[in-house]
A and B are shown apart, each in its own frame.
Chain A
Amino acid sequence: MNRITSAMMELMSMDELSRDSSFVHARNPLAKLIVTIIYIVAVLSFDITNLTGLIPMVLIPVVLFSLSGIEIRVCFYKLRIILPLIIFIGIWNPILNRTSALDLGLFVLTEGTLSFLTLLLKSLLALMMSFILVATTGIDGICAGLRRIHVPSIIVSLILITYRYISLLLTEAETLVTAYTLRAPGQKGVHVSAWGSFLGQLLLRSMDRANELYGSMRLRGFTGEFHYADNDKIDGTDILFTLICLIVIVGFRIVNISRLIGGIFI
């Protein structure tokens, strides 16, 4: 599967997931946005060597995944995007910092290894929480939430237009790439002699399409502002959901649950 098809599939799968119905899907986008941001801030604020304190934070996204009916493994596929940079930056820690953090005789855990593992876990947790937000909210819900917190109308409208046109232009790009590949079998990408004209054709078509879009929007009375149905009021369940999540996040951040549980047995 090439990159274009893969991107289209990812967009479609996220759209499908957001159309399901569950307790998490039904929550107000703003409530989910607040919980997600507070959760990620809490995760990032953990010390780079505090792996034991960070581990219980896994429970929050796991519970939300479970409540939404979405399989956790679906989001692991997206790790391929962020892992290279994380590994590139984090892999030096075990090499450069060999100070012993835990000496068990046969096995010595260094501070560098500990910080690298913490870094990997932080990436995974941030990804899981962002994924659950988008997979249970969808683009329309996110944009409605952004308008509610007074993000400028131009940005929200632009997100909606861009999102809708991405699929269309990806399809056009795929057609172009397929046509090119059939004429140049075995070639890894577009040859240097066609760099300008290849992408340029797509650009000119896009510009023409943008002008047609502008014309049709003007004919329907577009004045620069999109209007949304105001049917996403925050109810009591949303407030309760937000409060419970925030209490749990803050609790897990302040109290080292792993140490607490371990202390019971030792």
Chain B
Amino acid sequence: MHMADALLAPTVAATMYAASGITTGLSVAKLNKEDITEKLPVMGVMSAFVFAGQMINYTIPGTGSSGHMCGGMMLSALLGPQAGFVSMAVILLIQCLFFADGGLMAYGANVWNMAFYGCFIGYYLIYRPIMNSNIKNARVKISLASILGCVITLQLGAFSVCIETLASGITELPFAAFVGLMQPIHLAIGLVEGLVTAALLIFVYETRPELLAGVNEMNATDRMSLKKVLIILSVAVLLIGGIGSQFASSNPDGLEWSLFGNEESGYSANMGLDEEDYGVSSSLANASAAVTEATAFLPDYAFSNDSENPVGTTVSGILGSAIVAVVAAFICFLTGRKRKTVNE
């Protein structure tokens, strides 16, 4: 997800530099209040560890492909959010300078997209509430926190990439189509990264639990109930799904646009294809379309019986986010259960 220099306009790059710079400044100010002489070597070695860890491939069962670990959530869990953020910023700088992964002007945007969301949003809004909840099983807690943290923060990062590229005027791709391409790809990546992070943190918890920052800091009275955690997560899902879906365009997406055009908006039919006729003339295609119409309970992200209703789009966004959250939680549950069976 590293942004390249060429994808950003100077004004957007400067804005992202300012946002990341302020966050770095506040993090450094917080760290300077602590005994940094002790934390600095640990942060340095941990940054190098994340760098090395990212080079190791993990086989994804049943797919034949492989993925790697997520740095931000793991660093926040082990070092705390401020130290994790500064460490991630340093890793990104070294990647940018020595490996051309990202770019000098895109550095601010990359720090924001990959370090800010993972270290602050992921830690304060997802990881810490879940870790301090009264869920009894530590493995379930860690898995839930890691997977939801990685998935949600990566989705936010991918969404930021879309906004930054759109604001830079780089691509002709409509915003909705761009988001539609980016988000599902990063959902899959986030799930794999979340699972790898969860596996690592469970290992740390079982071998050296004192290393997990903040997990054991709160006493029993400060612990948040599962109900509160679920309410916070539900509100987050509603906000992200609800607000995000408002950005969804009523225009056709890029592929539809390129095939059929959008003559109501003044575009000519690009490939001369008629949406009504093309591809639906065969009996098989007709049958397939009928089945799709009948089974899609939210066609085109709106209510089936009222496609003009903007509320339908919002509700679809919320429902979609909720489905993603349920799928993530289900995977956590399966992973925890499988591990339990293996141990027994």
A interface residues with partner B (beta carbon < 8 Å): 3-4, 7, 10-11, 14, 36-37, 40-41, 43-45, 48, 75, 78-79, 81-82, 85-86, 89-90, 92-93, 95-98, 112, 115, 119-120, 122-123, 126-127, 130-131, 133-134, 142, 152, 154-155, 157-166, 168-170, 172-173, 176-177, 187-193, 195-200, 202-204, 206-207, 209-211, 213-214, 217-218, 222-224
Q: A158 contacts B90, CB within 8 Å?
A: yes
Which of A36, A81, A202 contacts B52, CB < 8 Å?
A202
Q: B100 contacts A3, CB within 8 Å?
A: no
Residues on B with beta carbons closer than 8 Å to the beta carbon of A169: 45, 48-49, 51-52
Please measure, in the bound complex, the distance between the C-alpha atom of A196 and the C-alpha atom of B158, giving whole angstroms: 26
Known: A44-B8, A159-B90, A196-B200. A85 touches B40 (CB 8 A): no
What's the nearest-Cβ distance from chain B to residue A183, in Å?
A: 14
Q: B10 contacts A41, CB within 8 Å?
A: yes
Q: Which B95-142 residues have a C-beta within 8 angstroms of A?
A: 96-105
Residues on A with beta carbons closer than 8 Å to the beta carbon of B7: 85-86, 89, 119
The 10 nearest A-B residue pairs measured at CB: A161-B44, A200-B203, A196-B199, A196-B203, A165-B48, A189-B57, A78-B100, A126-B5, A210-B45, A122-B6
Q: B6 contacts A134, CB within 8 Å?
A: no
Q: B196 contacts A199, CB within 8 Å?
A: yes
Q: A166 contacts B59, CB within 8 Å?
A: no
Residues on A with beta carbons closer than 8 Å to the beta carbon of B37: 214, 217-218, 222-224
Known: A90-B171, A202-B53. A123 touches B58 (CB 8 A): no
Q: B28 contacts A92, CB within 8 Å?
A: no
Binary A-proximity of B47-75 (CB < 8 A = 1, otherwise 0): 11101110111111100111001000000
Please measure, in the bound complex, the distance between the C-alpha atom of A198 and the C-alpha atom of B9, giving whole angstroms: 42
Residues on A with beta carbons closer than 8 Å to the beta carbon of B169: 48
Please measure, in the bound complex, the distance between the C-alpha atom of A166 and the C-alpha atom of B98, giving whole angstroms: 12
Known: A130-B104, A166-B94, A168-B48. A207 touches B195 (CB 8 A): no
B221 within 8 Å of A by Cβ?
no
Interface centre among A126, A203, A204 (most CB of B within 10 A): A203
Please measure, in the bound complex, the distance between the C-alpha atom of A85 and the C-alpha atom of B7, giving whole angstroms: 9
- Can you sample 23 A-B contacts with CB below 8 Å? A7-B55, A10-B99, A41-B13, A44-B8, A82-B103, A89-B170, A89-B171, A96-B172, A119-B7, A123-B6, A130-B96, A157-B40, A159-B93, A160-B44, A165-B47, A188-B65, A192-B59, A200-B207, A207-B45, A207-B211, A214-B37, A222-B37, A224-B37
B144 within 8 Å of A by Cβ?
no
Q: B42 contacts A210, CB within 8 Å?
A: yes
Chain A interface helix/strand/loop/mixed? helix
Known: A7-B99, A96-B254, A157-B40. A173 touches B56 (CB 8 A): yes
Contacts A95-B172, A155-B28 given; 11 further ones with Cβ under 8 A?
Answer: A11-B98, A41-B105, A97-B172, A130-B100, A154-B32, A158-B40, A162-B51, A162-B87, A200-B200, A200-B204, A210-B41
B interface residues with partner A (beta carbon < 8 Å): 2-10, 13, 24-25, 28, 31-32, 36-38, 40-49, 51-53, 55-61, 64-66, 69, 86-87, 89-91, 93-94, 96-105, 165, 169-173, 178, 195-196, 199-200, 202-204, 207-208, 211, 254, 257-258, 270, 342
Q: B103 contacts A40, CB within 8 Å?
A: yes
Please measure, in the bound complex, the distance between the C-alpha atom of A97 and the C-alpha atom of B258, giving whole angstroms: 9
Q: A195 contacts B196, CB within 8 Å?
A: yes
Residues on B with beta carbons closer than 8 Å to the beta carbon of A43: 5
Which of A97, A119, A197, A213 contacts B170, CB < 8 Å?
A119
Known: A44-B5, A161-B44, A210-B45. A96 touches B55 (CB 8 A): no
- Chain A minimum-CB-distance residue to B57: A189
Residues on B with beta carbons closer than 8 Å to the beta carbon of A40: 5, 103-105
Interface centre among B13, B45, B87 (most CB of A within 10 A): B45
What's the nearest-Cβ distance from chain B to residue A216, in Å?
A: 9
Q: A126 contacts B4, CB within 8 Å?
A: yes
Please measure, in the bound complex, the distance between the C-alpha atom of A152 and the C-alpha atom of B2, giving whole angstroms: 24
Q: A122 contacts B171, CB within 8 Å?
A: no
Residues on A with beta carbons closer than 8 Å to the beta carbon of B58: 189-190, 192, 195
Interface centre among B58, B69, B86, B165 (most CB of A within 10 A): B58
Q: B52 contacts A134, CB within 8 Å?
A: no
